[in-house]
Amino acid sequence: MFEDIFRRQKVIPGKLETYGFQEVLGTYRYDADVLNGEFHLEVSIGKNAVPDTRLMEAATGEEYVLYKTDAAGKYVGEIRTAVAAVLQDIADRCYELTIFKAEQSVKLIAYIREKYGDELEYLWGKFPGNAVWRRRDNRKWYGILLTVSRRKLGIRSDEMVEIIDLRSQPEKLENLIDNERYYPGWHMNKKHWYTIILDGSVPLEEICRRIDESYLLAK
């Protein structure tokens, strides 16, 4: 019934406990009251990371199941909406989109999350393969993750690849850009941005160091 909320989403385990989930034998559980306390909602997240829900009537303690069926009506619709609101908030705060799958992309997302506490922001609904990292203090971008064709970078291939755009000082870009490992910033001001293809051509440690530089330049 609520699968679409979590479609293409991946749970971030560390965020579940912060949200209020409690872990018992590998399953995370969260309790909430809905509809002004008329119902008690139990949300459980197991190995498949897709939440399961149980709704109990506060007055009787009996389980209410109509919200999981195709039953129609204003009241059951209000209950579905209330449950969906709780699940959507959990998805927004404890899950991330699994758009980027390249090994380096996954590791860089984890690196930035651990070091800066920042999550990717998907700003363009029509372009789900594009996302940015922004500093919290001034909201300036310091990294952009995108999915593009190699041909967009001047390479004779239509293979789709994941790339990262980072900031640099203009005086350093001339010596950095070689069109083999480092490319002019895709879709960005080429005086201040450059692009790396996340295919292993540049070692992960080097990219992390350059992310740190870009973060400082965004200040």
What are the angstrom distances between the C-alpha of 113 and each of 14, 72, 92, 107, 203?
11, 42, 15, 10, 19
Our CA angle for 165, 170, 176, nearest 5°, is 65
- Reported as a single tens digit per residue, the pLDDT across 33-87 is 999 999 999 999 987 678 999 999 999 999 999 999 988 899 999 999 999 999 9
Element (H, E) at 184: strand 183-184
What does pTM read for this prediction? 0.66
Alpha-carbon distance of 20 to 219, in angstroms, equals 33
- Reported as a single tens digit per residue, the pLDDT across 105-157 is 999 999 999 999 999 998 887 777 899 999 999 999 999 999 999 999 999 99
